[in-house]
Amino acid sequence: QPVLAVVGRPNVGKSTLVNRILGRREAVVQDVPGVTRDRVAYDALWNGRRFTVVDTGGWEPGASGLQGAVAAQAELAMATADAVLLVVDASVGATTTDEAVAKVLRRSKRPVLLAANKVDDNRLIPDVASLWSLGLGEPMPVSALHGRSSGDLLDAIVKALPEAPRDGERTAGPRRVALVGKPNVGKSSLLNKLTGEERSVVDSVAGTTVDPVDSLVELDGQTWRFVDTAGLRKRVHTASGTEYYASLRTKAAIDSAEVAIVLLDASEPLSEQDLRVLTMVVEAGRACVLAFNKWDLVDEDRRHQLERELDRGLVRVPWAQKVNISALTGRSVRKLAPALRTALESWDRRVSTGQLNSWLSELIAATPPPVRGGKQPKVLFATQAAIRPPTLVLFTTGFLEAGYRRFIERKFRERFGFEGSPVRINVRVRE
C-alpha cells in the first residue's frame, strides 16, 4: 500500500494531525523531546483507500540542530514515501526552519501537500494565505485539534497517492489447488482416491461449471478446484523425452493455483527433481503443503533416513507443513484439507503496520543490521505491502544483507506464524 510521510517542526501538531488522519486518538503518543517512539508507521483508511502514514517525528535524525534534523527527516520522507505532507503552524507562520524544509521538499519528484495547522478559527485564514510563500502550492487550513477540514485534507491525500497495487487475484469460487510432483510419485493415484470416494458429492454441487481440465473435489466439507488435472485423471503417462513439457505443465498448474500440494515419494531419497518442483512453488509465491506419499512402504529405518534427508533438503521451506499419506491405502489423506486451509489462511493474512513496526523496532534495537562500508543501515519502518503471498517492505537507509533478511524472516515467523506460506521481504533503500 502507498506511503504518506508527515514532516514538520516539533510542536506544529504532527502527531495530533496523524491521529486525525488515522481517525483514532490513542494511536500516536505526543512528542516528548529526546524520547524515541517505538512506532512511527500506521495504517490509514479513507474512502476505501488504504495507505500507510509515517510520522517522521519518531526518526530522530542526527544532532545537527533543529533545522538540520527536520531537513534530514524531509530527505528521508522524500526518499521513502509516495507523497509527503508538510505540517506548519499557521498561528506562527513560516519560520526559517519551515522555509529550509520547504526548500528540500521543492526538489521532490513525489507530490507534496502543505497543511496549515492550528487554524482553530477564521481569523487565522489570512495568515494561511501567507504560506503560499513556501512554494509548495496551496496551503490547506486544518485544525488537527478540532478536526476542521480533515475530510478535505484526506481527500487531497488519497488523490495525491498512487493507487495501491492490487493484492494477488482472488476469484470467487473454490480455492485452487495444484497437485504436483515428479512422475510416478502418485499424483493420479491420489487424485483418484480423492475424487473416487467423493465423486457423487462433487457432481451434485449446484451451479458449478468445471473447466474440463480441472477437477472439483470435496474434502472435509469444502469444495476445492484441483487445477489442470486432465492428464492425471486419464492416467496419460507421458513418453520419454517429454520431461520438458511435463515441467512446463507443472509450472502452468502452479501459476493458476493458490496453493500447491507437492507430492514426494517417502520411499525414495529426495531428488533434484523434487526440489525443482518445490522451488517452482516458492518462486511463484504460492502456499504449499508437502505430502509424503507411499508411507505404506516406509519402515523404521527408512523413516530415520528420511528425517536426515529432510533436514538438509528442505532448508528453504522450514515453514511448510508435512503430511504423511498413502494414496494406495488412503492413510491420512483426510489430513490434507486442514493443511491446505492453514496454508491459505497464512497466504491471505495481513499484519497491521502498527503491530509490525512495534515488533520490528524491538528486534532491530536488540540486533541491528550488520555495518556495511563503515555505515550502519537503519530500518526506518516497514509495512506489509501485499498478501497472496504476504510481502513485507522494509524502508531502510542502506542495503541489508541476505543473511540479515533471512534473520528477519525467521523472527517474523516466530512472532506471527505464517505456516504454509512463503513470505517475501523486499527492501527499499533511500537513494
Cβ distance to ligand GDP smaller for residue 116 or 290: 290
Q: Is 122 annotated in some ligand binding site?
A: no
Q: Is 374 annotated in some ligand binding site?
A: no
Cβ distance to ligand GDP smaller for residue 235 or 410: 235
Q: How far is the CB of 333 from ligand GDP (least distance, A)?
A: 9
Which H/E stretch holds residue 213?
A: none
Of 397, 406, 407, 395, which Cα lies nearest the Cα of 376?
397
Of 232, 271, 250, 263, which Cα lies nearest the Cα of 333?
263
Which residues, in sequence order, are CB contacts of 143 under 8 Å at separation 6+? 117, 118, 119, 120, 149
Q: How far is the CB of 260 from ligand GDP (least distance, A)?
A: 14
Q: How far is the CB of 340 from ligand GDP (least distance, A)?
A: 19
Cβ distance to ligand GDP smaller for residue 187 or 286: 187
Please return the burial class of 266, using the count of CB atoms within 10 Å of its CB with bins 0-12, 13-18 and 19+.
buried
Long-range contacts of 199-203 (CB under 8 A, 24+ apart): none
In sign, the C-alpha dihedral spanning 357, 66, 5, 42 is positive
Q: How far is the CB of 298 from ligand GDP (least distance, A)?
A: 10
Cβ distance to ligand GDP smaller for residue 45 or 328: 328
Contact 291, 258 (CB under 8 A): no
Residues engaged in binding ligand GDP (CB under 6 A): 181, 183-189, 232, 293-294, 296-297, 326-328
Q: How far is the CB of 113 from ligand GDP (least distance, A)?
A: 58
| Number of continuous H segments (helices) and E segments (strands) in the chain | 13, 15
Cβ distance to ligand GDP smaller for residue 120 or 296: 296
Q: Is 319 annotated in some ligand binding site?
A: no
Q: Is 13 annotated in some ligand binding site?
A: yes
Q: Is 188 annotated in some ligand binding site?
A: yes
Q: Is 9 annotated in some ligand binding site?
A: yes
Q: How far is the CB of 299 from ligand GDP (least distance, A)?
A: 12
Cβ distance to ligand GDP smaller for residue 7 or 260: 260
Long-range contacts of 312-317 (CB under 8 A, 24+ apart): 313/270, 313/274, 313/275, 314/270, 314/278, 314/290, 316/278, 316/279, 316/282, 317/278, 317/282, 317/288, 317/290
Which residue of the chain is nearest ligand GDP when measured via CB? 186
Q: Is 173 annotated in some ligand binding site?
A: no
Could you give the residue ranges of the DSSP H alpha helices within 43-116? 65-80, 96-105
Q: Is 214 annotated in some ligand binding site?
A: no
Helix/strand/coil for 13: coil
* Residues in the annotated binding site: 8-15, 55-59, 117-120, 181-188, 228-232, 293-296
Binding-site residue ranges for GTP:
8-15, 55-59, 117-120, 181-188, 228-232, 293-296
